[in-house]
Amino acid sequence: MSEIVLLTGAAGFIGMHAGLALLERGCHVVGVDSLNDYYDVQLKRDRLARLQAYDAFSFERLDLAHRAAVAELFERVRPDCVLHLAAQAGVRYSLEQPHAYADANLVGFLNVLEGCREIEPRHLVFASSSSVYGGSTKLPYREDDCVDQPISLYAATKKANELMAHSYAHLYGIPITGLRFFTVYGPWGRPDMAYFSFTRNILNGEPIRLFNHGQMYRDFTYIDDIVEGVMRVMEHAPEADESGKRFCIYNIGNDRPEKLEHFVHVLEQVLGRKAIREMAPMQPGDVPCTHADLTRIRRDFGFEPKTTIEEGLVRFVEWFRDYYGRKER
């Protein structure tokens, strides 16, 4: 895959791992990130440093909501492929800072779509989310399920992204694929994710909060499995449907929901410490269970997640202890 890839959200969790995979495949990667302070900026800089070790990587610090700057970037770089992972993430934060989601997830994505309309890349792949399924109790989640009832603003912006992408694929012939990610975890992960704070609190002897009194199930998906799926999807733009449009949506998860209590139990075993549990009610905008139906992505790309939580949490904890241990020395 020797081509120029524009990677947005390059300093993010999935962005860094995807960037490394692309560089190892011989791509020239132009990374874009605003390096905002939603969480620890130093972690983002340290991720970025791993990419900057490659000669084939270049970085642009840029807020995608700035229309003129994005247009100039696309015209200058003229990427063969675009992997759009930049977004304001987090369900709960969307209750506190809604405008950040409009700026990053709606305006930013529109500017990316406009850039693609002008330079016509081979393929645009963008990040959606399992959150679009809202409070649906129909499990597992299938791509053709109705997703018209989001229960958080974050989910609403991701559903809007899918609609925006569909319209641009229809109007301008841009080959576009959307990926609905399911609870991605692993080394270099996001500190706002539960497994990250659980690890920190257990090591510090502080309590962890289990929402919905621990009756939560998540389709935890290890980062290496996610990246493998993303690479497979990027290589093959969607074929035209009966109307001539080249657009597709895929779930990308683990197809194996784990009860949160079991996840914590495994984490305790890996850490060699017991957690202090605090039970709490369901959070606004949250759902009790997620479960990805992978029929479509298995059929089209042979995607098969391989990493168990037992394996994945060992790798995450090894990274966590090394990364934060170095900072304390």
Whether 133 is catalytic is no
What is the pLDDT tens value at each position of the chain, 329 positions in all?
Answer: 579 999 999 999 999 999 999 999 999 999 999 999 999 999 999 999 999 999 999 999 999 999 999 999 999 999 999 999 999 988 888 888 999 999 999 999 999 999 999 999 999 999 999 999 987 888 899 999 999 999 899 999 999 999 999 999 999 999 999 999 999 999 999 999 999 999 999 999 999 998 888 888 899 999 999 999 999 999 999 999 988 999 999 999 999 999 999 999 999 999 999 999 988 888 777 787 888 999 999 999 999 999 999 999 999 999 999 999 875 53
- Looking only at the bridges linking them, the beta strands covering 176-181 and 217-218 are unpaired
Contact 180, 129 (CB under 8 A): yes
**Same-domain pairing of 299 and 234:** no
Catalytic residue among 38, 93, 141, 154: 154
- CATH number, domain of 49, equals 3.40.50.720
Residue 189 lies in a domain: no
Structural domain total, the chain: 2
**Same-domain pairing of 214 and 147:** no
**Same-domain pairing of 136 and 84:** yes
Contact 81, 3 (CB under 8 A): yes
- Provide the CA 83 distance to its chain's centre, in angstroms: 11
- Looking only at the bridges linking them, the beta strands covering 217-218 and 57-61 are unpaired
How long, in residues, is the chain?
329
- CATH number, domain of 310, equals 3.90.25.10
Reported pTM? 0.95
CA angle at residue 227 from 222 to 230, to 5 degrees? Answer: 130
By C-alpha distance, which of 91, 99, 97, 88 is closest to 33?
A: 88
Range of the domain at 135: 4-184+221-252
**Same-domain pairing of 145 and 213:** no
By CB atoms closer than 10 A (0-12, 13-18, 19+), residue 296 is middle
d(CA 165, CA 109): 9
Show the tokens assigned to 29: 């990667």
Single-letter amino acid code for the residue at 284: P
- Last residue of a domain, which of 202, 232, 252? 252
